[in-house]
Structure 1
């Protein structure tokens, strides 16, 4: 059938077959900033080389990389220059990429003997130096002691972008790597129906598969994987990441206490537990900056971005009537996250609004009554104005062995966009051994726990009742999507200071929505153990802006 059709064709007049070759690679975006100790110095970036750089052949037929010509097998010092100019490092280079480069992804066997590195040449005033940094990550599964973590080569994945931030100090260079999915979706494709990488889509909202700052997505595998899924804690309207003393597995961080964090619930400030987990800024040069809570009405000198030269310490008012805000001017904390550029999420992602959180959570305390405080047994609740102001129905089923149960729902019921959701609490580790507890305070259930949110198909005619929740639909073991939210506590603030409380029993997740009427914010709260006050899954408009809470980002469709 093709006879004669291909005669006399050249590359100029023939048809074209476009191959998205670049999406078999990894893409690196390089940013640079200088520590405040170099504020009065001129720092110039002169050259960046990739070291232990992979070379080889890519088969266009199979899409697989071949190591047949890999020069790294016997030469880990193989380098490739990707940048050679002179640019002064300043606030602009911290926010806007200096250059980007493509590299082959890491093969599984490379993590044993090779680690892609950066060889960076800088000039500080008149002194020129070259620094080499091997990019590594924590080996979560083989780390049994958080005080002595094991490391492996960072695994660069195909079709992923990586924001690499170089922070220059007087003595060294610190490298931070932020992975994100390489956006190669065609302009004409249906963005809402396209799943990006390992992200999770609920009701047209695409969620990151892990907490911001987490190195692991599946928190249910082991105690180590749960700890690695914790991520950083953030104060509302402040994009400074905070880690807990003893919990940071970054080799650049010299732990201020050299101890595993001891979360002791309500007893966090008692004299016999002085080492309870405290927040420290994950900012190069400031890893050991202790918190401050010595003012009643907030502060005016707090940094809101890691690239600033203000104060990075965890700061908050202890005054409840002042909403325990970190900012002396409430408008500062209320408006900073209005622009996604100011939010802590990487490029292409942003914080969810309170309405977007409703796509994955119950819309009221009555609907999210996972501990059956308001119900004596299996219950059914209908909410007429749920997500998108559409109808939703919830059915709660108690457990025969625990003080909490399972909640089922159909959201957007009666519409073509209807979907089923299930909420379950899963515990991690051996719950028969007391030493596996991560919180021993009060009457909270202190074992590491995870809220597992699962999505299932439905149509406009689907129904859900107390009688048919497990009959009309029975394939609950095979969700279309699963989202895990570690129940990893939060940084509580009062007159005695700030510290982690109720890890394993409670968690707070930020939204981007401020409550300007009461000088507070909207959050999603998980509480299934401890005292009975607010023991639900629910969104709340009275969150204290000074608390340290978890962040789960969503895809920003306005950014390419």
Structure 2
């Protein structure tokens, strides 16, 4: 699709059969890969599959419009198990009887009365962001500890700020009222796959750069783009809103904001994932968007989006840095250079 064309939101009904994307299959490490196999996208748009004047965003650029941790992007209300690896947590979907219908999450991780950052060897910028929450007497996370969200109980995977180093952000994940999404297609026994591990999810709200003059509000919703009774074809609707520097976001006030008139809206189709084996999986329910981050020991950064599948593994919406298998077939979403 030309960058000048409107985005295609009708995800195809037929599973693609083409060779998977632009990522090569093979070793999961960079050792032994030829320059053609390892594209070195981090060296600039000249090494990326984009037309002139465009580039693949870095994870830092994606952080401006996506949750910064799996815990903050826990749209499916997954239960955690204390697993330290954000790509390795498992469990059943929460259904409202097992957990609150509204979760509040802070990045950096903070709870009321907390005396010091939980992240080991916290950087100066991380500590600066954490102190922003503490100095404003922020109410902190709904649930003390990370035992009730993806990513386990280890905040060491958090970035040094959200969306940039030194800044804090607050998220509300809600299943209250219209925030609860229960797609009919996932209840249809004739649907492709027939056994969906997750059949409902919520809506995510946020204030990024909270308590600063640069603060802005965000909302993430997952919408079905088709009336098909066979294939789910979901996409993420991302809305951005203006925000006052002294604005707060709590479980008591988030419904009081105007969420019907965004300043800007962008869409990300959930087109499926090229597995490292070369198989094309979770068509319409999961995908990853590639970043231009460096590859270290076969791992890189990506935007992980998953709302259901035959396994609840990795069901969240978030930027995940430094642990994504570089051999996965990912989608690309170019942005204007200097834009």
TM-score, normalization by structure 1: 0.41
Q: Work out the CA distance in 2 between the residues paired with 1:334 and 1:391.
A: 33
Distance in 2, matches of 1:532 and 1:388, equals 30
What SS does structure 1 have at the residue aligned with 2:293?
strand
Counterpart contact for 1:448–1:504, Cα < 8 Å: yes
Q: Tell me which residue corresponds to 1:468.
A: 253
CA distance in 1, matches of 2:36, 2:18: 27
Pick one of 379, 392, 395 that aligns with 2:103.
379
Query: Are the equivalent residues in 2 in contact too, given 1:279–1:499 (CA < 8 A)?
Result: no
Instruction: Describe how 1:50-65 pairs up with structure 2 within 5 A.
Output: none
> Hey, what's the Cα distance between the residues in 1 that align with 2:275 and 2:266?
25
Give the distance between the partners of 1:504 and 1:489, measured in 2 at CA. Answer: 5
| Aligned position for 1:394 | 171
Q: For the Cα contact (< 8 Å) 2:234–2:284, is it kept in 1?
A: yes
Higher-Rg structure is 1
Match of 2:125 in 1: none
Aligned to 2:196: none
- 1:399-456 residue CA offsets vs partner (Å, 9 max, x unmatched): 545210100000011111111000000002225x23xx1xxxxxxxxx1010010001
Structure 2 partner of 1:416: 213
Structure 1 portions without partners, runs of 5+? 1-176, 181-214, 220-224, 228-259, 264-276, 282-303, 305-313, 438-446
Q: Structure 1's 178 and 378: CA in aligned 2 closer, same or farther, altered over 3 A?
A: closer
Per-residue CA shift, 1:523-549, capped at 9, x if unaligned?
A: 101011122222111222222222221
Determine which of 260, 264, 270 is the counterpart of 1:487.
270
Following superposition, the deviation at residue 332 of structure 1 comes to 6.3
Q: In structure 1, what is the Cα distance between the partners aligned to 2:226 and 2:2?
A: 29
Higher-strand-fraction structure: 1
CA-to-aligned-CA distance 1:452-475 (integer Å, 9 cap, x gap) = 10001102111101110011x1x2
Q: Map 1:403-442 to 2 at 5 A.
A: 403-431=200-228, 433-434=229-230, 437=231
Number of aligned residue pairs: 245
What's the CA shift string for 1:287-314, capped at 9, x where partnerless?
xxxxxxxxxxxxxxxxx9xxxxxxxxx7
Name stretches of at least 5 consecutive residues in structure 2 with no aligned partner.
80-93, 109-160, 183-199
Name the structure 1 match of 2:88. Answer: none
Q: Partner of 1:356: helix, strand, or coil?
A: helix
RMSD (Å) for aligned C-alpha atoms: 2.7
**How far, CA to CA, are the matches of 1:325 and 1:487 in structure 2?**
27
**With CA pairs under 8 Å and 6+ residues apart, which has the higher RCO, 1 or 2?**
2
Q: 1:337, CA displacement in angstroms?
A: 3.9
Query: By how many angstroms is 1:499 displaced?
Result: 3.1
3-state SS, counterpart of residue 515 of structure 1:
coil
| 1:199 aligned partner | none
Is 2:25 the partner of 1:316? yes
